Structure 1
Amino acid sequence: MSMLLCSLCHIWTIYLVTVYKGCRLYSSRPLDAYALDESEEWWVGHFEYLRERGYMMRPRYRPGWKPSYDPKDIDEGMFAEDGQIMFHSAIMDALRISDSLVVAMKRVSTGEDQIAALFSDDAHKSDSRNHCVRIIEALPVPGDDAEKILVMVWMREIMDPRFRTVGEAIQFLKEMVEGLQYMHQNNVAHRDCSKNNMAMEANAMYTRRYHPVCPKKRYDWSGRALHHSRTRCPPRYYFIDFGQSRMYDPSQPRGAEYALKSGGYTPPEGLADTPCDPFSTDVFFLGNLIRTSFLDGDDYMDEPGISGFEFLRPLVKDMVADDPLKRPTMDEVAPRFFDIIDKLPWWKLRARAVKKDEFLLARPFRAVYHVLWTASMMLLLKPAIPSPNLLH
């Protein structure tokens, strides 16, 4: 029993240290977890090709790399820059050599990029309502006609760093409402539009580049990645991952689809195994995002929710109705959402976004600091709902 307790304490200690450092823990990997695996070797094998095309991967993924740590020492690998392992075998980060922009490179099957390419063309990318991730370029894979490498700007999780104000969160929701409405108006259903398939382009927020695997640290591992607030340097939000998306012929009736599980949640029509309009399922997932991330909390992700968003409850209730036929369309959701937002007073938008599990004794001190910070943002003429520039 004592040995078991010691083991559990050791695992918990490693977890706490990892969270503190802002890194991901790969507890399912063996002790030599920080040596290259098969998927990483694939990227190393394409290093020269990608460099010729203008992209430089981190030292770990360069031919002849030797670790700066003992590969069998999980503690050394965890805290070394070249021990940071990409968390998805099909995705790799790199610097664009021409301007040092951090990009994501994703291996996809040929044809899987069609929807992302559609919303990245000149006709769509300049439209401010379009919140589909932009493809910088699609690279052929040498000797493999079945795959491509999509190059995109590297993005962050939408909740990291946290929302400081109600207005900052409203900007995120505004862009997602606009974006999904825009997709539907162009006859495309995302079908997997939960939080895990939304991302934030936040380069303007950071004084120096952040590390793709440990985003709380600088890219060069020289210290903590410092950032401005979303109010001061607004980010921009995007839908990503169109592997399950469908495009429909507007001249034909839209076919029913079986709903997918997304972000840990299955819509009622999926539980009933009943096909329905995929646009209605998209509405459910977007409503469920608001419900779980802001109103009620997310049991699946162990997140408590954020106070101050009850004004969205009636709209969300309609969006997540059990009967898909009773849900509003995105063309109905959008004007209702904007009408609600337009009626919010400025002080509500600038109010602090408080997590529901926040330590009570810390609230008075954080409230005072928030008042001072809010005054500084108002002196700088920063709007309560941040207004980002369009990313081309």
Structure 2
Amino acid sequence: MTIHLVVPPHPVLPLVAKAISLLNAPFRGVDVPQNNYSLSVQAMNNAAFDDIGIHSRPDKRSEAEDRWVAFQPYLLSKGYQLRPDTSQIGSRPGRELLSSLCTVKTPIRVLDATRIQDNQQVKLKMIVAYAAGEGANEYALLKHFSESPLKDDPSNHVVPCLDSFPIPGIDAGNFVVMPLLSSYQLIPFYNLAEVHELLKQLFDGLLFLHSNNVAHRDIASTNVMMDARPLFEEPFHPFYQDHSLDAKRLIYPSYSRSEKDVRYYFIDYGYAVWFPDPNAPRTAVGVDAREAAPEQKSGQPYDPFPADVYQLGKMIHDDLFQAVDDLRFLLPLIRGMTEETPTRRLTLEQARDQMNTSFVGLHGWRYRWPLVPRNTRFQDRCWYFFRGLVAEILFLVRCIRRLGLRN
């Protein structure tokens, strides 16, 4: 059957039309009439699922985009509407806009959508299992941790699976529906209290995984996300999350992490290993990780649980310690977590306890004082100092008022 697609003109800004004509462009969904629908991927086998082109032009969708378009009627039947167009970005300085458009790559397996029943923004992920390879445990793990009683455990920081259904024509392939999450670095941390809350949730979440005999094996910046929606008073664009939902203007968070409850999640369990039998050998092989631990690079079987400790310690070092001078006190923790020899490495429980002790030992004012990014100019440091001073005065006033009410 021939697929007849109704493709609207691609609205590319004149400023960058020529620059991106041969480069990557964001996903451009279209409405495909149900009666003209044919799923061209049904003949595709699992091994070739990711062997697909991702490059698009203003006048031509990529193969990955075409696949999502072909799936759209099926997704509609399940209650999910793909985003019509992500190519229009509001006014930015020309150079910044050009850079942002030219570095976008079409997602092969993950795309945002809207849940029709409540107009909720979600993410759709196609999970295809390969024997003893990436994705072998991912679908089962997401389903397992999204069922009672595990889903109700406050220590569960596995990204929730809101819904799932098969990928037509793909053996052991499933669509998984997840919340629309954001990079945990989407907005800067205001003070050490916010950093401490992040680390408490990450350590608790990883301990929860390990206590359920699961090792993640791919802990990295891109696999730690947060639900940033409580920080904004309006929905943000699912791809350009510093823009309004219609992508026409920049938006900013209305609240800090200290003012709202922000929850953090581990995502991407494609390399995770699960040992349902507690008596089975707890070893793994393979080096496929964004930040591989030394034992993962050896090519020999290794214990994946200490490898998780190494990866989390490396992430803390690269993302937090190197960015903020006020986090120097975490250096002993980082060194203990990133020991080259796994047997000399801190256990996850030891690392969690040492992390909490490091923060508890801080003076209260330092815990609340604004974080100053490394290499900040002197005049900006003065502004941070002023903000911190005002915040401390207000804190003292609130304490005095509470004491007065008690008396």
* TM superposition score normalised by structure 1: 0.77
Q: Distance in 2 between matches of 1:146 and 1:361?
A: 58
Report the Cα distance in structure 2 between the residues aligned to 1:129 and 1:101, rounded to whole angstroms: 25
- Aligned residue number for residue 224 of structure 1: 250
1:325 matches 2:352: no
Deviation at 1:177, TM superposition (A): 0.5
Answering whether residue 183 of structure 2 is matched by residue 157 of structure 1, we say yes
Partner of 1:104: 123
Q: Which residue of 1 aligns with 2:274?
A: 247
**Other-structure match for 1:316:** 334
In 2 relative to 1, CA 31–335 (structure 1 residues): closer, same or farther, beyond 3 Å? closer
Counterpart Cα distance in 2 of 1:59 and 1:84: 20
- Equivalent residue runs for 1:255-266 within 5 Å: 255-258=282-285, 260=287, 262-263=289-290, 265-266=291-292
Q: CA deviation at 1:198?
A: 0.8
C-alpha spacing 1:237/1:220, structure 2 compared with 1 (3 Å):
same
SS at structure 2 position matched to 1:311: helix
Residue 29 of structure 1 deviates from its aligned partner by 8.4
Q: Paired residue for 1:146? A: 172
Relative to structure 1, is the Cα distance of residues 124 and 379 closer, same or farther in structure 2, using a 3 angstrom cutoff? farther
For 1:221 and 1:128, how far apart are their aligned partners in 2? 34
| Partners of 2:221 and 2:258 in 1: CA distance | 21
Structure 1 pair 236/127, CA: closer, same or farther in 2 (3 Å)? Answer: same
Cα offset for 1:377? 7.8
1:289-317 CA-partner distances (Å, limit 9, x unpaired): 1111122x3xxxxxxx1121122222221
Alignment partner, residue 387 of structure 2: 369
Preserved CA contact (<8 Å) 1:261 1:267: no
How far does residue 156 in structure 1 lie from its aligned partner after superposition?
Answer: 0.7
CA spacing shift, 1:166–1:48, aligned 2, 3 Å: same
Aligned-partner residue type, residue 251 of structure 1: P
Higher mean displacement: 104-113 or 147-156: 104-113
Match of 1:186 in 2: 212
Larger relative contact order (Cα-Cα within 8 Å, sequence gap ≥ 6): 1
Give the CA deviation at 1:253.
4.2
Give the unaligned 5+ runs of structure 1: 1-12, 19-23, 62-66, 70-74, 298-304, 382-392
Cα offset, 1:30, TM superposition: 7.1
* Rounded Cα–Cα distance in structure 2 between residues aligned with 1:68 and 1:238: 29
- Bigger radius of gyration, 1 or 2? 2
In structure 2, do the counterparts of structure 1 residues 378 and 230 end up closer, same or farther at CA, with 3 Å as the change threshold?
farther
Between the aligned residues of both structures, percent identity stands at 25
Moved more, 52-61 or 324-333: 52-61
1:1-392 equivalences under 5 Å are 32=57, 35-60=60-85, 87-110=106-129, 112-227=138-253, 228-258=255-285, 260=287, 262-263=289-290, 265-295=291-321, 297=322, 305-372=323-390
**CA drift at 1:96:** 1.5
Aligned length: 339
**2-side partners of 1:123 and 1:196: how far apart?**
28
Instruction: Measure how far apart 1:33 and its partner are.
Output: 5.2
- CA separation in 1, counterparts of 2:277 and 2:396? 46
**Per-residue CA distance 1:34-66 (angstroms, 9 max, x = gap):** 7421111111112222223222221139xxxxx
Q: Which amino acid aligns with 2:139?
A: D
Structure 2: runs of 5+ lacking an equivalent: 1-14, 27-52, 130-135, 400-407
**Contact 1:86-1:213 within 8 A present in 2 as well:** no
Opposite residue 37 of structure 1, the aligned amino acid is: S
Separation in structure 1 between the aligned mates of residue 343 and residue 214 of structure 2, nearest angstrom: 19
SS in 2 for 1:60: coil
The answer to whether the Cα contact below 8 Å between 2:215 and 2:304 also exists between their aligned partners in 1 is yes
